[in-house]
Amino acid sequence: MKKVRVLYHDNCFDGVSSAAVFSRFYKAHINAGAVIEYEGLTHKAGQHIAGEQFGDDENVIVDFKYSASDKLTWWFDHHESAFLSAQDEAHFRRDTSGHKFHDPSYKSCTKFIAHITRTVFNCPMPDLEDLVHWADIIDGAQFPNAQTAVELKEPAMRLMLVIEASHDPELIHRIIREIQDKPLSQVIELPEIRATFDKLYAHHFDSIEIMRRLTKCTNGVIEFDVSDHDLDGYNKFIPYYLFPDSVYSVGVSHSPVRAKVSVGTNPWTKREHRQNLARLCEQYGGGGHAVVAAISFKPNELDKAREAAHEIARKLQQDLKENHG
């Protein structure tokens, strides 16, 4: 029996949804009897995907950087910073399998996969349209306002909280399996998932108050450092909820696997902004999208993360000053 290992962007609604949509496609179009297993990938300093993370049969990466390994059989990504090196990109360009796809114009990898499976492989999955719709809204920050993004009233937003803040891989893998054929409103009410949400929801409001104390906004740029708190999975829209007139945010967080700098653009700002945050973060070994990006340092490099965050905040403030006078 063929085994398929799907490596996905961990603790990310789009990563989880991408894994689910690909799995449905694979079972429907490639091999209905395949056994699909999942493993989450977290961005770490200088990360190359280790050979032991690949299985013996087919291997898939969704919503994460490319790997030049011969064991990789499928790849889908939508990040500008999709390649760790020029050599990796050249390897991708030479690929003739027809199973590896990259398009940074898509706001979500989930929608990109749904498009490819429908148009290239003639495998439409109309019952997953709601999942694709919400993955695109969440990963593209296409909410009408910050309240919608932070108050978490929709089933998809509640699942987002569980996915982003849970540290239980088996629970995340269950969500991947459940959302392949159940409405999001049913999945969030499954007892184990609902119980996890209820605990995390209370912590979510605590995190808003912690960030309210630790966050400042200077010349349109929000800065915060929550590395002394258990907030590695905080809701990334809280800074804009607290400072609606901001343009950018720069934050530092810490976990056992990394020190992280998160850089974002306020989705609701009316002020002009020119900085490509993916390119900015690439200067420090990170990357992402034009409007949201990040840098991962080793866990013992918190001082380096703080220094990078400080430098980036100053660059963004200077850019806004020059842009607006």
**What is the token pair recorded at 124?**
């439409």
Query: In the prediction, which pLDDT does 324 show?
Result: 62
Q: Where are the alpha helices (DSSP H) in 141-190?
A: 146-151, 155-165, 169-178, 184-187
Q: Do domains 3-192 and 216-324 have the same CATH topology?
A: no
**Does the structural domain 3-192 have CATH classification 3.90.1640?**
yes
Give percent of the chain with pLDDT exceeding 90.
82
Query: In the prediction, which pLDDT does 276 show?
Result: 94
Handedness of CA 301, 306, 307, 311 (dihedral sign): positive
Domain ranges of the chain: 3-192, 216-324
Query: In the prediction, which pLDDT does 48 show?
Result: 64
Topology at the third CATH level for domain 216-324:
Diaminopimelate Epimerase; Chain A, domain 1 (3.10.310)
User: 72: closest CA among 103, 105, 44, 50?
Assistant: 50
User: 209: closest CA among 254, 241, 251?
Assistant: 241
Per-residue pLDDT 10s for the chain (325 aa) are 789 999 999 999 999 999 999 999 999 999 999 999 999 988 665 556 766 789 889 999 999 999 999 999 999 999 998 998 899 999 999 999 999 999 999 999 999 999 999 999 999 999 999 999 999 999 999 999 999 999 999 999 999 999 998 989 999 999 999 999 999 999 999 999 999 999 999 889 999 999 999 999 999 999 999 999 987 678 899 999 999 999 999 999 998 888 999 999 999 998 888 899 999 999 999 998 899 999 999 999 999 999 999 999 999 999 898 876 5
**What is the token pair recorded at 35?**
């056994």
